[in-house]
Every structure is written in structure tokens, then in C-alpha cells.
Amino acid sequence: MKQVLCALLCAVALISVTASAADNETIRLGVNTAVSGAKIDRHIFGQFAEHLGRGIYEGVWVGPDSKIPNTRGIRNDVVAALKAIKVPNVRWPGGCFADEYHWRNGIGPRDKRPATLNPNWGGVIEPNTFGTHEFMDFVQQIGAEAYLSINVGSGTPAEAADWLEYLTTSQPTALAKERAANGHPEPYPVALLGIGNESWGCGGSMTPDEYVNHLKVYARYARNYNTAKPMRRVAVGPDGPDTGYTEAVMKAWKNKTWAWDIEGLSLHSYTVVKWPPAFKATGFGESEYATMLKATLNMENLVSTHSAVMDRYDPDKKIPLVVDEWGAWLAATPGSPEGFLEQQNSQRDALIAALNLNIFARHADRVRVANIAQMVNVLQAMIFTRQEKMLLTPTYHIFKMYVPFQDATLVPIELPAGAYKVGDIELPRVDAIAARDAGGKLWLSLTNLDPNRVATVDVEVAGAGIRRAVGETLVAPKIDSVNTFEAPGTVVPKPFSARASGKKLPLKLAPASVTVVALE
């Protein structure tokens, strides 16, 4: 089987995945520095924070009177951890929650805000103590940009238009004065605006054509008045492989009038093998490990399929594909509250994150925003909190290791990847990307999918005298190893280095590991 993954209009072969390489053969990875790929937009490392379970309340917001150290109610430990991974944007307030969210409930004095319900997620009380100003304060504290989702499902165009005016105008309108009275005279910057969420499902069960009718109205009236910060409007797009929304939205965009526009199309796709999610987050065997990795690699097909449809309407790739919900969705932690979507996070999740990020990077010309679901305490989280304690997950460590790839330029590689087989499943043994950062340094990320064998990869960089590789590797005692509050250091990156021998730089990758190195 020979499969060529192509991210540069297929002008250059980036990765040649050849499963016929002998089992224990050294794998050759050729880096072609003569060719430059697309920029890997830092926004593919975005986060998603929904009012869901302990994602916001406790996870981010503890309130100014909490004993947990905080700045204006936002926990300091979480802010510091997120700053370290250079989060480019945070999508908020949902998710399904967004299409039932009424922004006015979340402004003004906190003790006067109404208690409402969160019917999507456990039917719990939503106190509305974390609202617009608290969110904008939070993203400012972590150095990220705001990605807001407006309520199309149960809201009105007027409600969305008012929210945007409230947030972004510098003119002395009644809404701007209300914003100032609530503590923020300056207009806020809103970088991204989602026009609805999953409008084919929890966001209103609309057909593609019904949604397009709504899209045109909201895209017209939800205006950004902050000229200092351009805002990109993101239309709801496909659910998995179904191209109905992709076709309808892109066709409407191609035929758009002066009266409306969009600057992004969303794709949601989780790594979930059975529905409802039944695969365990810990205590799984090799078969479930490989099944989840195989399902993850299907992101490649999804992105290619939707990109191909988009190419027909938008050959210049003006509209990014925004993968604003992705990640592993597993069986909930036993004993956790119904609807809170709490799950442990293992070394397998670390590989799932790396494989997805590699796919987005290879499609950097089209995938320019992505948001893992979700940031804290929910689904494939970066961070867990337990009252005053905070814990970093294996997925967090991948995002930290990948910081050098933010806004780096993709460099084509050639990789006969070998095969990892278990039962009927055959996967590439190794997956990799290369990129050059703004300072000219060359970076490699390599994932050894095989949990049983060390992979030896001989790196060859044509035309560059590489002497060594220096970086980190994330390796764990077992494929289902996790970090816990009692043992937080089970899965943490370890230093990694290798020296060149002649023209070859041999890298020994531990089983089921992710390694990121700078080539010097």
C-alpha cells in the first residue's frame, strides 16, 4: 500500500506511507528543506471552553472570594498553565450551550444575575457568574483571542447584533455606555465569531438550506465595530463525513451578495468509536488502543473530503476549514455526574492529539483554526482541577511540546512509515511532520504508534549539515498510563537528544511515544 498525503496542492509529496517496510527495519525520514509549505497557523492550537460540567465553574472560575488563588475570580494556576502553552484562541460559551445562551444574563452585578438552567449538560443551575466580561478578562489573562459562538438556535438576530455592538463599538451608544458602566469602557477585540453551533443537531436541527437562510441574516447583522481587530465569521459546517452543509454553505458563499460574507467553515469530528461513547479512558488493551488511533487517522479523510468540496467553490483557499471541536470522546469517569463528560487522559490521548495536530499541519493551507474539546475538566482536557489542586494531562504536554510549530512553516518530508499491525488493524508505524520556525530553526515531531517496538528513524536533511537533535519525548510506562492528583508525574516529557553519524541522524523512538526535536 502506498499512500501519499499531500498538503501543498499535491505539488510535492509530503509523506509516503509505505507499509511494506520490513518490520524492524530502520525507517528513513527525508526532510526536503528546498521546498516550503504553508504556514502552520497558531490558531490550530485553539481551545474550547463550554459551560459544561466543571469546565468553567471550578475549572476556570472560582470567584474573587475563593480561597483558591485567583485574579478577579479566575484561578491563577490554570491561567499560568495555559499561558505556557500559548493558547491562541478560546471558543466560548459552547457548544450546544451557545444556542441556549442569552448574553444579557451574564452581564451586570454578579449578585443580581439570574440563575438559569443548563438543560444540555446535566440540567444543572447556570449561575451566570461567568459571563461576557469574565470571559474577556480570562482570555486577556492567558494572552489568547476570543472566539465567541452566537445563539442562532434559540436566539434572534437582534440579540446577536446587540451582543456584538455591546462588545465592540467605541461610539457612545446605549450599549457601549452599559459596557462602560459594567467596567469596560474600551471596546473588546473579538477575533472569531461562530454563527451557531451544530445547527444540524443541538443547534436547531436545520437542513443545510434552512441553515444557510439563517447564516445570511446573522452574518449580516452580527457586526464587528472594532476596526482595530478584524473578526472572522465562521459558518456551521459538516458533522463528520456528510458534505451536505459543506456544499450548501460554500455554494451560498460563492454566490453571495455584498450584504453578507463569512471567513470560515466549521467541522466537528470526535475520535469516538461507539455511540454513546463506551471505550474506556483507562484499563484498555492494545486492541482498543489501535482502534482509537485508527479512528483518529480518519481525520485525514474528513479534512481531505471537505477540502475537496471547498476547493470547487474556493480554489484560492480564502475560507479556512475550522475544526473547532475535535478530540477523544470516551466513557465518562465512573461516578462522575451525569452529563459532565469527565474522562481520564492517557498516553493514548497524547498520541491522538499529536496525530490530529499533524493532520491539521499537513493541511495547513486549508485548516487554519482548530479547537480541541475541551480545555479543562471536560472530554480530552489539558487540565484537571480538584478544588485547589491542578493537574496537567498527557494532552497538555503535547500542546506544550508543539509550541515551536505555532506559525512555523511546514517543510515537506518523505517517510516510508512501515506498519504497525494488531488483529485486523494496520496503521503506519511512525507519523511525523517537519517545520521551520520564524528564527529559521528546523523542528521535527515524530510519533511511534507501535506500543511494542522501538522505532529507529534515520533522519536525512538534504543540503543542511545537521549535527544533532535536541528536544523532548513523551513516553509512558503503559499505553493507558495517566497522571493523577496522587501521581502527577507519571506521564511528563523527558529530555531527548541524538547525534548525527555522517549524513544520518538516527532517532530511537520509544514505543507509543511522541518526540519533538530541534535539528541543529
Q: Which of 92, 128, 135 is nearest to 110 (CA)?
A: 128
What's the min distance (Å) between Cβ of 324 and ligand AHR?
A: 9
Active site residue 165: no
Task: Output the smallest distance, CB 370 to ligand AHR, in A.
Answer: 14
- Give, as ranges, the residues between 315 and 334 that touch ligand AHR (CB under 6 A): 325
| CB of 379 vs ligand AHR, minimal distance in Å | 6
55 binds ligand AHR (CB under 6 A): no
Q: How far is the CB of 10 from ligand AHR (least distance, A)?
A: 32
Q: Which of residues 9-48 bind ligand AHR (CB under 6 A)?
A: none
CB 94 within 8 A of CB 102: no
Residue with the CB atom nearest ligand AHR in the bound state = 95
Which amino acid, one-letter code, is at 210? E
By CB under 6 A, the residues from 73 to 132 that bind ligand AHR are 94-96
Which amino acid belongs to residue 189? P
Write the CA distances from 29 to 421, 444, 446, 506, integer angstroms. Answer: 21, 10, 10, 10
Catalytic residue among 198, 263, 288, 472: 198
**Smallest distance, ligand AHR to C-beta of residue 126, A:** 14
Q: How far is the CB of 161 from ligand AHR (least distance, A)?
A: 23
Nearer to ligand AHR, 73 or 94 (CB): 94
Least separation, in Å, of the C-beta of 407 and ligand AHR? Answer: 26
Compute how many residues bind ligand AHR; rule: CB under 6 A: 10
Q: Which is nearer to ligand AHR, 96 or 422 (CB)?
A: 96
Q: Measured from the CB atom, is 376 or 516 closer to ligand AHR? A: 376
Query: Between 141 and 180, how does the x/- string for binding to ligand AHR read (CB under 6 A)?
Result: ----------------------------------------
| Rounded Cα–Cα distance for residues 475 and 483 (Å) | 12
Q: Which three cell numbers stand for residue 265?
A: 467553515
CA–CA separation, 269 and 417 (whole Å): 25
Question: Residue 427 to residues 253, 292, 355: CA-CA distances in angstroms?
Answer: 38, 11, 12
Catalytic residue among 165, 288, 325, 342: 325
Q: Is 198 part of the annotated catalytic residue set? A: yes
CA distance 192 to 86: 17
Instruction: Work out whether 376 is an interface residue with ligand AHR (CB under 6 A).
Output: no
Stretch that binds ligand AHR, among 1-9, 59-67, 371-379, 444-452 (CB under 6 A): 371-379
Percentage helix, strand, coil for the chain under 3-state DSSP, each rounded to 5? 25, 30, 45
From 16-24, 53-61, 170-178, 372-380, span contacting ligand AHR (CB under 6 A): 372-380
Q: Closest CB to ligand AHR among 32 and 345?
A: 345
Pick 46 or 428: Cβ nearer ligand AHR: 46
Question: Could you give the angle at the alpha carbon of 61 between the alpha carbons of 56 and 64, nearest 5°?
Answer: 165
Q: Does 50 bind ligand AHR (CB under 6 A)?
A: yes
Q: Which is nearer to ligand AHR, 89 or 168 (CB)?
A: 89
CB of 239 to ligand AHR, least distance (A): 8
End-to-end CA distance of the chain: 34
Whether the CB-CB separation of 354 and 478 falls below 8 Å is answered with no
198 or 472, CB closer to ligand AHR?
Answer: 198
Distance of CA 58 to the CA centre of its chain: 22
Give the one residue of 32, 70, 197, 226 binding ligand AHR; rule: CB under 6 A: 197
Q: How far is CA 338 from the centre of its chain?
A: 24
Which residue in the set 100, 126, 145, 198 belongs to the binding site for ligand AHR (CB under 6 A)?
A: 198
Angle subtended by helix axes 157-168 and 208-221, to nearest 10: 40
Measure Cα distances from 146 to 88, 101, 455 in Å: 9, 17, 41
Q: Which is nearer to ligand AHR, 189 or 327 (CB)?
A: 327
Dihedrals phi, psi of 146, to nearest 5 degrees: -90, 130
Q: Which three cell numbers stand for residue 321?
A: 476549514
User: Cβ neighbours of residue 417 under 8 Å, at least 6 residues apart?
Assistant: 15, 16, 17, 18, 19, 21, 27, 428, 429, 430, 431
241 burial (CB, 10 Å; 0-12 / 13-18 / 19+) is: exposed
Helix axes 132-142, 157-168, angle to 10 degrees: 50
User: Between 286-313 and 347-362, two packed helices, what is the crossing angle to 10 degrees?
Assistant: 20
**Of the two residues 161 and 373, which places its CB atom closer to ligand AHR in the complex?**
373
The least distance separating ligand AHR from the CB of residue 268, rounded to whole angstroms, comes to: 6
Residue type, 9: L
> 481-520: which residues touch ligand AHR (CB under 6 A)?
none
Where along the sequence are the contacts to ligand AHR (CB under 6 A)?
50, 94-96, 197-198, 325, 373-374, 379
Q: Which residues are catalytic?
A: 198, 325
